[in-house]
Structure 1
Amino acid sequence: MSSAPYTYEPVGATRDDLAVCPPGFHHLYVRTRIGEGTGLFHRAAQALLTWEMHREMGVAMDTTADRAAPGVDVTVGLAGLIKAPCRVVWTADEPRRAGWAYGTLPGHPECGEEAFVVSRTGDGTVWLTVAAYSRPAKWYAHAAGPAARALQHAYARRCGKVLKRLCADEDES
């Protein structure tokens, strides 16, 4: 675990409210239906908590642990060009909700927090929610403007597609 400070406030705000968006930040909220059933939920939670979903997407996850846990440092590598240092802020591993969020550290092109949460509703439907609040921290993120936010939304939608594919054998629907 590094001692680098987070580059934003409030740290951990996505834990209780995925719709949170502090003033001055851009909000992201993408929810994807993954399927149905307890087995699918457990498979999706495992893929999420062990970085499998991200790695399956081709995202380099250089991390200090095999599983998401508070305080674990993660450097996200995108296209071999961008290295984005983060730290896991919180995790959840509950009967109907599993996931984690990381917060940005110095050197990340954005500042803010991003959460990845799998939940199972009362009717057994399993959802992936990707939620974030962020703003540019590097000149190139600022210059990208709306294009950067569009890429963030596309990334969140792709998370849902990849997780759905990873869990296809477990779907009870």
Structure 2
Amino acid sequence: MKLSDLTALPLTYPEVGATAGPLPAGYHHVRKSAVIGYGRSRFSEAAAAGMRWGMLRGAGVRVAATTELAEAGSEVIVNLGPVQAPCRVVYVVDEPDRRGFAYGTLPGHAECGEELFLVRYDPATEQVYAEVTAFSRHATWWSRLASPVTSMIQRVVTERYLRAL
């Protein structure tokens, strides 16, 4: 699969943008966060790295993307070992205390759903957080068959995302 093959593909789920609010029923939900530092400069540094696919790359995942910085419409192929996971950025968060992006799955991905990668600054405590929010369900026969393994891999990779920045 090549990045140029992704442009015409539709997202594989109807709840596009749902990681910005209440997560939809019928999916496995993930909401994880970790303190990754303190201060506005740490937030700026982590947010900039995050927008360059930093949570993914820092977790040891190979990323090929149509843009250097995540932006709405960017196409991405994430490689975890031999498994390719095609995705598209569906929205970007660019606020004074929150920065990140969410991408959704495209045909050929073993899962169906959306994942938000966010860096958040809390002005009251000056803590900087890495946050991952996701909803997903199996989209292929082999991911359903390997459900215990794929669920474990998802937990491990999510923890790596939080430590990546």
TM score, norm. by length of structure 2: 0.91
Partners of 1:142 and 1:154 in 2: CA distance: 18
Residue 105 of structure 1 pairs with residue 106 of structure 2 = yes
- Residue 136 of structure 1 is matched in structure 2 by 138
The 4+ residue runs of structure 1 with deviation greater than 4 A are: none
Preserved contact between residue 30 and residue 153 of structure 1 (Cα < 8 Å): no
Residue 85 of structure 1 pairs with residue 90 of structure 2 = no
CA RMSD of aligned residues (A): 1.3
- Residue 12 of structure 2 is matched in structure 1 by 7
Matches within 5 A, 1:11-160: 11-15=16-20, 17=21, 20-79=22-81, 81-121=82-122, 122-160=124-162
Partners of 1:149 and 1:60 in 2: CA distance: 20
Partners of 2:55 and 2:19 in 1: CA distance: 20
Preserved contact between residue 52 and residue 69 of structure 2 (Cα < 8 Å): yes
- The percent of aligned pairs where both chains have the same amino acid is 42
Partners of 1:61 and 1:8 in 2: CA distance: 22
Segment drifting more, 93-102 vs 137-146: 137-146
- Residue 162 of structure 1 is matched in structure 2 by 164
1:91 shift after superposition: 0.5
Partners of 1:6 and 1:59 in 2: CA distance: 21
1:161 shift after superposition: 1.6
Partners of 2:19 and 2:29 in 1: CA distance: 11
TM score, norm. by length of structure 1: 0.87
Segment drifting more, 52-61 vs 121-130: 52-61
Runs of 5+ consecutive residues of structure 2 not aligned to the other structure: 1-5
Preserved contact between residue 98 and residue 121 of structure 2 (Cα < 8 Å): yes
Partners of 2:149 and 2:24 in 1: CA distance: 21
Preserved contact between residue 141 and residue 148 of structure 1 (Cα < 8 Å): yes
